[in-house]
Chains A and B, each alone.
Chain A
Amino acid sequence: MKLSSPMDAWKYLPGTNCKECGEKTCLAFASLLLERNKKLEDCTPLFEPKYASKAKELAELLAPEIREVEIGVGARASKIGGEDIMHRHELTFYDRTSLAYDVWDTMAEPELRERVKGITLWRKFYVGEFLTLDAIAVRSVSSEAETFARCVKHVAEETDMPLILCSFDANVLEAGLKEVSDRNPLLYAADKTNWQEFLALAKRYSVPVTLFSPDLDTLNSLATTFAAAGIDDLILDPGTYPTGKGLADTFSRFVRIRRAGIVDGNKSIAYPLMAVPMTAWMTNGNQDALDASYWEAIIADMLILRYADIMILHSIEPHSLITERTLVANIYTDPRRPVSVDPGLMEVGSPTDESPLFITTNFALTYYTVESDLSSSKIDCYLMVVDADGLGVEAAVAGGQLTADRIKETVASYDAEKKVTHKTMVLPGLAARISGETEDATGWSVLVGPRDSGRIPGWMTDNWPPKT
């Protein structure tokens, strides 16, 4: 965005401090706009006719440096790009890298439908929510228009996810596009030879289109030409070479394009970037699938960190999906979000005075993990959250932030003695080292629980209620 201080944005606001946005002053709202914690639409008075020109100017000034392109429709539509910064601590990364997994038109129909269903329904619980995947890339392997169209049709019947239609042949691509023209699919890809036909397709169907060229002069020329023709829902693929010098050059292209867009403010190349880690499969994918899936995840890793806004992957094995999607969740977590939760004595389910009392630390991730393990297993209990300066259990024990004294203070502060009659607490297995001291300091009985809270149900069978 083009603004650097809240005052710059404030000049465009009505300045009436009407509080309709939920903030006390227009200036407070302006600073939240800059942090991207509020949207312009939250200022309803700004959309009265008399402010029309100010609203328009401010919207332009607030627009992210990297264009935001939407693919797909409905609840699962995916926003791509929209970034303003080079490093996440400068603010936060914004639209998380969309992960697209491939299907191809030479697959047998039942196999195809099953794969699409698998990608669509995949989910993993993580810090209070389910992670899901983002898109499906349909590849034309047959190079036959009819075969491709049929495949696209079948895919569309099985999923509501955004689709990426992949062929360098405009005729083949259009056959597929006709099947899903109302679903805002992404076209892949225009290059230096076919671009005129792709330009016409993107215009005729008004859908976003990918431009491909590892030569950055050509890529910039393609983007400039498309933009001049009025097509700016563009995504750039600078080529993903899987190994050797090609891999190093790929890394370099992604960084330099993003730097040109954000640091140098070069609008002609400030579009979302696409990576294709599935090129890892072209070197030895048919010899060793496990190695290929690892190498694919490695390429995904380096390009999730360095500026890919959308990527196409092949392995849908659980180990691939879990690692790739978790990394995206980590890198796109807002670093301004607090690291810690408040200490206290939480109730999980409906505990009684005979329910167990578990100890954990106030690192947000630790707390949410333990809390979800307990509630998912329907264990009624107390969870006592000790202030460990926002560190996880293992680190806090090593660093002296989770100590017998702090546990003692927490027990006293939250009247734990009045909640349970058994005066027994369960320490995390990773805090076994301080169990003796804790017993001495608190006067409670201390049981050492499992090293991972996922194993609490099994542990309960053998250890609760405590043997007297």
Chain B
Amino acid sequence: MRKKITFGDLASILENYDIVELEDVKIEGDMEVELSPSGAIPPSLIQVLQSMLNEVDKQVEATLSTRKSLIQVLQPVQYVEEKKVAVLERAKFEVAKAAWIGKIEEVTIGATSADGGTRESTVTIGGEKSLPFYNFDHQMPYPPVISVDCFDMPIPLAKAVRGFYEDVMEDPGEWAKKNVREFGADMVTIHLISTDPTIKDTSAKEAAKTVEEVLQAVKVPIVIGGSGNPDKDPAVLEAAAEAAAGERCLIASANLNMDYERIAKAAQDNGHVILSWTQLDINAQKTLNRYLFKLGVPREDIVIDPTTAALGYGLDYAFTNIERMRIAALKGDTDLAFPISCGVTNAWGARESWMKGSPLAEDSDWGPAAYRGPLYEIITGLTLGIAGGDMFMMMHPKAATAVKRVTQMLFGAETDGAKGVNVDEWVTWEANK
């Protein structure tokens, strides 16, 4: 039942809320006039009262005639009631912590003289007990690291990248140095691609020499990559592993379609870490890792590479594949509980990263390729970092710097807030004219 209120009640409600005046509000309702049966009322007054009552009746009838006008009658009362609950309902925000049980293996790459190597720095990755950057569950123990690529011969590169390396392409040692000195690389990857029989077919011995040069040139840990030729790589990586004995390099890589046993053995005999590479297939990754366990490779000597696909060219598969592996590991699957390396340079395979313009006339303008390429590399890297990547092999200096900066921030390396930014003032922010 609707509560009956009088003008007096209404006035005191309004007073409670400091409301002095109601605009555009018409009060309509019952009016009762008591006529005393025995009173001496002049007939003229009765006539006046009767005509007033008739008028009231007509108004009430008109008011009730449609639902709409009824709502109009009720609205002022509702409005007052809204104002009545006009105090913020206090509701504390609470959320549970995630209950992960797994822990990712901690892997150190590089050995200093104390451990029989000649590196001046080492990197440690892994050790997570929660998803990347979920420091509210568990503080991430180590931030992701960046390894900048160099090659053992000049290679075709997108225009936006080429400019940075043109002066060092003939000399892998100088190339590696530049990566550290100018681009702040935590590590350097030397890709021995000239050994591919369909490229230059250089010998394993020559590859070993290149590795020695790079180890001489830089004092950061290095990754040694083959050409990707499954027949040649075992010999090449074996020679390279021997040449780098004791340096605890990351040997890239063992995979299912090659003699991974020979590579794993070479890595073990010479004190290196092995990269276990599979192609977007969680079961294949488990299988290969188990083969490596069987060969006696210790858990702290394994990093996995579940394959990086570029933004727009399968990044969704790579993202979900890595995220699934990381979640499985945190839920207790020890076959997958290893740090993850991502070949982010693959982003340059996306045509949007290097092509001058769209091949399709129907597309909106693509703008300069020089702006697109680095951003494709950044987004590919950061996306996989949020899925579970611990290490990024990269190429464009601007992209490497940006991914490093944002992952450091998310890791929690910076303790100050955003300097000088009132975050709600973006609404009135003014761009330069």
- What CA separation (Å) do A278 and B82 show in the bound complex? 35
Our pick among B280, B323, B376, B431 for the contact of A286 (Cβ within 8 Å) is B431
1/0 per position for B356-371, CB-CB distance to A under 8 A?
0011111111111001
Size category of the A interface is 35 or more
Whose C-beta in chain B lies nearest to the C-beta of A132? B364
Chain A contacts for B358, CB-based, 8 A: 124-125, 454
Q: Which of A392-439 contact B (CB under 8 A)?
A: 392, 394-395, 398-400, 432-433
Question: Is A297 at the interface (CB under 8 A from chain B)?
Answer: yes
Known: A259-B95, A278-B426, A330-B312. A130 touches B417 (CB 8 A): no
1/0 per position for A101-118, CB-CB distance to B under 8 A?
000101000000000000
Question: Is B184 at the interface (CB under 8 A from chain A)?
Answer: no
Whose C-beta in chain B lies nearest to the C-beta of A169? B427
Question: Is B7 at the interface (CB under 8 A from chain A)?
Answer: no
Chain B contacts for A372, CB-based, 8 A: 360
Chain A contacts for B89, CB-based, 8 A: 221, 224-225, 228
A125–B414 contact, CB under 8 A? Answer: no
Q: How near does chain A come to B408, taking the closest CB pair, in angstroms?
A: 10
Secondary structure class of chain A's binding surface, majority of residues: helix
A319–B375 contact, CB under 8 A? Answer: yes
A141–B311 contact, CB under 8 A? Answer: no
Whose C-beta in chain A lies nearest to the C-beta of B94? A260
- What CA separation (Å) do A260 and B86 show in the bound complex? 26
1/0 per position for A131-158, CB-CB distance to B under 8 A?
0000000011101000000000000000
- What CA separation (Å) do A452 and B320 show in the bound complex? 26
- What CA separation (Å) do A121 and B362 show in the bound complex? 11
B429–A248 contact, CB under 8 A? Answer: no
Question: Is B382 at the interface (CB under 8 A from chain A)?
Answer: yes
B378–A282 contact, CB under 8 A? Answer: no
Q: How near does chain B come to A110, taking the closest CB pair, in angstroms?
A: 14
- What CA separation (Å) do A217 and B324 show in the bound complex? 32
Question: Is A28 at the interface (CB under 8 A from chain B)?
Answer: no
- What CA separation (Å) do A91 and B84 show in the bound complex? 44
Chain A contacts for B20, CB-based, 8 A: none
Whose C-beta in chain A lies nearest to the C-beta of B197? A433
1/0 per position for B413-433, CB-CB distance to A under 8 A?
011111111011111111110
Chain A contacts for B280, CB-based, 8 A: 391, 395
- Inter-chain residue pair count (beta carbon < 8 A): 284
Chain A contacts for B92, CB-based, 8 A: 217, 220
Q: How near does chain A come to B88, taking the closest CB pair, in angstroms?
A: 5
Known: A88-B320, A244-B414, A305-B386. A124 touches B375 (CB 8 A): no
Chain A contacts for B383, CB-based, 8 A: 301, 305, 327
Question: Is B154 at the interface (CB under 8 A from chain A)?
Answer: no
Counting chain A CB atoms within 10 Å of each CB, the highest count among B314, B419, B425 belongs to B314
- What CA separation (Å) do A330 and B317 show in the bound complex? 9
Question: Is A59 at the interface (CB under 8 A from chain B)?
Answer: no
Our pick among B307, B355, B364 for the contact of A124 (Cβ within 8 Å) is B364
Our pick among B324, B386, B431 for the contact of A285 (Cβ within 8 Å) is B431
B421–A398 contact, CB under 8 A? Answer: no
Question: Is A463 at the interface (CB under 8 A from chain B)?
Answer: no
A244–B95 contact, CB under 8 A? Answer: no
B416–A140 contact, CB under 8 A? Answer: no
Chain B contacts for A263, CB-based, 8 A: 96
Known: A247-B409, A323-B372, A339-B317. A239 touches B424 (CB 8 A): yes
B379–A327 contact, CB under 8 A? Answer: yes
Whose C-beta in chain A lies nearest to the C-beta of B371? A319
A252–B136 contact, CB under 8 A? Answer: yes
Chain A contacts for B376, CB-based, 8 A: 323
Question: Is B402 at the interface (CB under 8 A from chain A)?
Answer: yes
- What CA separation (Å) do A196 and B415 show in the bound complex? 35
A282–B430 contact, CB under 8 A? Answer: no
Q: How near does chain B come to A365, taking the closest CB pair, in angstroms?
A: 6
Q: How near does chain B come to A80, taking the closest CB pair, in angstroms?
A: 19
- What CA separation (Å) do A6 and B362 show in the bound complex? 44
Q: Which of B363-421 contact A (CB under 8 A)?
A: 363-368, 371-372, 374-376, 378-379, 382-383, 386-387, 398, 402, 406, 409-412, 414-421
Question: Is B315 at the interface (CB under 8 A from chain A)?
Answer: yes
- What CA separation (Å) do A377 and B307 show in the bound complex? 32
Q: How near does chain B come to A451, taking the closest CB pair, in angstroms?
A: 9
Q: How near does chain B come to A397, taking the closest CB pair, in angstroms?
A: 9
Chain A contacts for B65, CB-based, 8 A: none
- A sample of 12 inter-chain contacts (CB < 8 A) reads A124-B363, A124-B364, A141-B428, A203-B82, A241-B423, A283-B418, A283-B420, A298-B382, A302-B410, A318-B365, A326-B352, A399-B279
